[in-house]
Amino acid sequence: MTNVVYHPEDLVRDLDRIAQSLRIDVVDMIHRRKAGHPGGSLSAAEIVTALIFHHMRIDPKRPGWEERDRFILSKGHACSLLYAALARRGFFPREELKTWGHLGSRLQGHPDRLKTVGVDMTTGMEGHGVAVGAGLCLSARIKNLSYNVYVLVGDGECQCGVLWEGAMIASKYRLSELTVIVDHNHVQLDGPVHEILPVDSLVDKWRAFNFATLEIDGNNMREVLDALDMAREIRNKPTAIIAHTTKGRGVSFMENKSAWHGRPPNDEEYAQAISELRRRLEEL
């Protein structure tokens, strides 16, 4: 089943450096805008980097290319990460990141497919990505196109009923082109996920919905790359990658704290966060 190529050290290190640079972009953007969601953006940096900078078949010069792989950031609140990644990947100038959230900007508070080049689907309300992704896969099947669809969901998002409706549909039609990645950072807006509404065990749940499941350290680039390769090889059912991550990853005082789900750092906190993130980047 597995036809996973070994990922060279250089590639993994390069991608790790990109992920860390995106973390700096994220904290920068949220601080400048004085709004945004640092926790769940920092946790998903490796996942989004692996997809946008390596795994997915996309081309910034042809954002509307019919056969491109699709990415749905179902946890749309992590959009600063997506915007930073798309800009670094060449979909639009990095300078534009400064306009995020300003009246008239192409970069909305949550992703808007009609405004931002490279955004495949408008998101922001939790739960939709799996079913929308299933619809995209069905459409590809009818049109005889072979693209893959990647949906990044949060673990708090796994509390949404519509997400599981979508999972049943994806499983009914055996949509192997669909890969759901759960950013399992264990923290949501109001507190720890296990306290607000437990979702465990996510692996058992996705398996019960007839998805192939992979469980990885989602902040480990090599594991993310391997899992995405494996998911592509699974032919008869959709895949769910349960990626254990740390909310607020890389900023010591943000890690595992629900307070940092949706609040911006003040100037002092910003300085500390950036210095921690830069130090780590230099080490890579």
Partner 1 sequence: MRKASMRRAYGEALAEYGAENPDVAVVVADVSSSVQTGFFAKRFPERFFNVGITEQAMVDVAAGLALGGMIPFANTFAVLFLRAAEQIRTCVAYAKTNVKLVGSYSGMSNFKDGPTHHVECDTATMRSMPNITVFEVADAVEARKAVPVIAEYDGPVYLRISRAEVPIIFDESYEVKIGRGTILRDGSDAALIASGVMVSRCLDAAEKLAKEGIDAYVVNMSSIKPLDVKLVWKLARETGAIVTAEDHSVIGGLGGAVAEALGQESPANLERIGIPDTFTETALSYDELLDHYGMSVERIVEATRLTVERRKR
Name the site residues for partner 1 (rule: CB under 8 A). 66, 70, 112-114, 120-125, 127-128, 130-143, 145, 161-162, 165-166, 168-169, 172-173
Separation CA 70–CA 144 (nearest Å): 15
CB of 67 to partner 1, least distance (A): 11
Pairing state of beta strands 239-244 and 70-73? unpaired
Q: Nearer to partner 1 by C-beta: 45 or 167?
A: 167
Min. distance of Cβ 169 from partner 1 in angstroms? Answer: 5
Longest dimension (CA), the chain: 54
Say which residue the tokens 């179902």 belong to. 74
CB 258 within 8 A of CB 190: yes
Cα 44 from chain centroid? 5
d(CA 119, CA 79) in angstroms, rounded, equals: 10
Q: Which is nearer to partner 1, 19 or 72 (CB)?
A: 72
Please say which residue, 173 or 270, places its beta carbon nearer to partner 1: 173
Question: What does the DSSP 8-state code read for residue 213?
Answer: E
Q: Least separation, in Å, of the C-beta of 272 and partner 1? A: 36
Closest approach of Cβ 149 to partner 1, in Å?
Answer: 8
∠ CA 73-79-82, nearest 5°, is: 75
Q: Closest separation between CB of residue 50 and partner 1, Å?
A: 23
Dist CA 29 CA 237 (whole Å): 38
Q: Which is nearer to partner 1, 133 or 265 (CB)?
A: 133
Single out the residue of 83, 80, 79, 146 nearest to residue 118, CA to CA. 83
Q: How far is the CB of 177 from partner 1 (least distance, A)?
A: 11
CB atoms within 10 A of CB 179: 28
Cβ burial, residue 252 (10 Å; 0-12/13-18/19+):
exposed
CA atoms within 13 A on the CB side of 127: 8
Question: Please, are residues 155 and 197 in contact by the beta-carbon 8 Å criterion?
Answer: no
Whichever of 16 and 177 has its CB closer to partner 1, that residue is 177
In the complex with partner 1, the residue whose CB is nearer, 128 or 244, is 128
Closer to partner 1 by Cβ: residue 180 or 216: 180
State the nearest-atom distance from the C-beta of 171 to partner 1, in Å.
11
CB closer to partner 1 out of 49 and 171: 171
CB of 135 to partner 1, least distance (A): 2
Pairing verdict, β 70-73 and 149-154: parallel
